[in-house]
């Protein structure tokens, strides 16, 4: 981004926190763990970066007559509503029927109008698209699949470069992935600062793994496509895309039915590569509680999925093997999210205790499946 754009953005420059706790837990002579705290954005997630940039540019085109429309029951909708409030422009969020009261309250509190339409996201999106066609100066804000969003999200990497100790380059970057908006920003940001060779680890849950299955399909893995996953070819980007017909994960912010084809292509083209990992919901529940205890932050399951390698050393050692005499710097994007409460953590703890009685948890990484301690 240009200097002028950086000086006039809405998003916050979030802290990069050195975690002495996680570094010590993993081996202080082997790993130095840093946390990029995107949960401290005005809308509680990284999405405020890209979505505020998208709306800012739309405002420059349409002027004060601009009306914002977004189809999202989650963090994209809240980011759009917070941005619209900051600019003093109207915003309508389309939600599927049956959205929880907490989400409605958050949106109303920042001045958004809410329309409930459709039983699932695709129907809601179609209703939002129809509304835009009938309203002059209305603009539909995308949730994750747009280059402007990736450009805005990329700004966090520019910040990280200046926040790390002088001359330090990460041995790996870690982020969650659903549709690919955050990952697209990380990939672009790494390119902008000359970190194309830095490996990126993208984590999602078993029941929401559209990105994992898409990457595996393009890498020629010979495994059987799981039930509920259909493959198609995106001719524009020249990649195969996995469409998940049913999301079976409580990490709802990762619940895209299919990823951005552009981000899949970018992941496949990176010189530093993108390693894809899927983890069980129960592990993300366990670590949401652990992170609250250790760092005093509540984060969504989509966010705690990112933190799995920071707590599970056996997984981290596979992804970023330790080297004798070298301390490797690891950066974890704490992407945030507002769909979490103290009561959720109580319920998660109960689910984890029951699930642990059944045995150990399985993880998938780069086409390999293995067992982790729980």
pLDDT in tens, 282-337: 999 999 999 999 999 999 999 999 999 999 999 999 999 999 989 999 999 999 99
**Has residue 2 got a pLDDT over 60?**
no
Give the pLDDT confidence score for residue 238 in this predicted structure: 94
**Has residue 66 got a pLDDT over 50?**
yes
Give the pLDDT confidence score for residue 373 in this predicted structure: 58
Question: How many Cα atoms within 13 Å fall on the side-chain side of residue 238?
Answer: 4
**Has residue 369 got a pLDDT over 60?**
no
Give the pLDDT confidence score for residue 6 in this predicted structure: 46
Greatest mean pLDDT among 70-74, 223-227, 253-257:
70-74
Give the pLDDT confidence score for residue 35 in this predicted structure: 98
| pLDDT confidence tier of residue 372, bands split at 50, 70 and 90 | low
Which of 83-97, 100-114, 249-263, 302-316 has the least mean pLDDT? 249-263
What percent of the chain clears pLDDT 70, i.e. is strictly above it?
A: 94
Which of 1-15, 26-40, 230-244, 293-307 has the least mean pLDDT? 1-15
289 phi/psi in degrees, rounded to 5: -70, -40
Q: Which two three-digit tokens encode residue 105? A: 């309250």
Q: What is the pLDDT of residues 168-184, one digit of tens each?
A: 999 999 999 999 999 99
User: What HEC string does the chain produce?
Assistant: CCHHHHHCCCCCCCCEEECHHHHHHHCCCCEEEEEEEHHHCCCCECHHHHHHHHHHHHHHHHHHHCEEEEECCCHHHHHHHHHHHHHCCCEEEEECCCCCHHHHHHHHHCCCEEEECCCCHHHHHHHHHHHHHHCCCEEECCCCCCHHHHHHHHHHHHHHHHHCCCCCCCCEEEEECCCCHHHHHHHHHHHHCCCCCCCEEEEEEHHHCHHHHHHHHHCCCCCCCCCCEEEEEECCCCEEEEEECCCCCCCHHHCCCCCCHHHHHHHHHCCCCEEEEEECHHHHHHHHHHHHHHHCCCCCHHHHCCCHHHHCHHHHHHHCCCECCECEEEEEEECECCCCCHHHHHHHHHHHHHHHCCCCEEEEECCEEEEECC
Please name which of 197, 192, 182, 181 lies closest in space to residue 159, comparing C-alpha atoms. 192
Summary mean pLDDT of the chain? 90
**Has residue 346 got a pLDDT over 90?**
yes
Give the pLDDT confidence score for residue 188 in this predicted structure: 98
């Amino acid at each position: 981004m240009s200097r002028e754009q950086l000086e006039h953005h809405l998003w916050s420059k979030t802290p990069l926190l050195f975690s002495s706790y996680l570094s010590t837990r993993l081996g202080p002579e082997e790993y130095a763990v840093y946390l990029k705290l995107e949960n401290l954005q005005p809308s509680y997630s990284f999405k405020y970066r890209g979505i505020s940039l998208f709306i800012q540019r739309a405002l420059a085109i349409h002027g004060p007559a601009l009306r914002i429309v977004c189809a999202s029951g989650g963090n994209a909708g809240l980011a759009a509503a917070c941005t619209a409030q900051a600019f003093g422009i109207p915003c309508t969020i389309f939600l599927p029927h049956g959205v929880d009261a907490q989400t409605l309250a958050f949106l109303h509190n920042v001045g958004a109008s809410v329309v409930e339409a459709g039983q699932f996201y695709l129907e809601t999106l179609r209703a939002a698209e129809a509304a835009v066609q009938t309203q002059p100066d209305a603009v539909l804000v995308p949730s994750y699949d747009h280059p402007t969003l990736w450009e805005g999200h990329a700004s966090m990497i520019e910040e990280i470069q200046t926040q790390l100790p002088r001359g330090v380059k990460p041995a790996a970057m870690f982020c969650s992935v659903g549709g690919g908006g955050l990952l697209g920003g990380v990939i672009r940001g790494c390119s902008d600062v000359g970190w194309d060779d830095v490996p990126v680890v993208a984590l999602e849950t078993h029941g929401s793994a559209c990105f994992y299955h898409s990457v595996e399909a393009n890498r020629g893995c010979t495994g059987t496509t799981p039930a509920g996953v259909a493959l198609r070819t995106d001719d524009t980007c020249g990649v195969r895309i996995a469409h998940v017909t049913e999301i079976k994960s409580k990490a709802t912010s990762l619940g895209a039915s299919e990823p951005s084809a552009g981000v899949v292509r970018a992941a496949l083209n990176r010189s530093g590569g993108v390693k894809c990992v899927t983890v069980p919901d129960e592990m993300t529940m366990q670590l949401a509680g652990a992170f609250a205890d250790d760092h005093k932050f509540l984060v969504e399951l989509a966010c705690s999925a990112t933190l799995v390698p920071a707590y599970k050393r056996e997984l981290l050692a596979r992804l970023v093997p330790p080297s004798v005499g070298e301390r490797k710097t690891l950066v974890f994007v704490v992407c945030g999210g507002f769909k979490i409460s103290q009561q959720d953590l109580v319920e998660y703890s109960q689910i984890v205790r029951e699930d642990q009685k059944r045995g150990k948890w399985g993880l998938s990484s780069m086409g390999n499946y293995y067992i982790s301690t729980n």
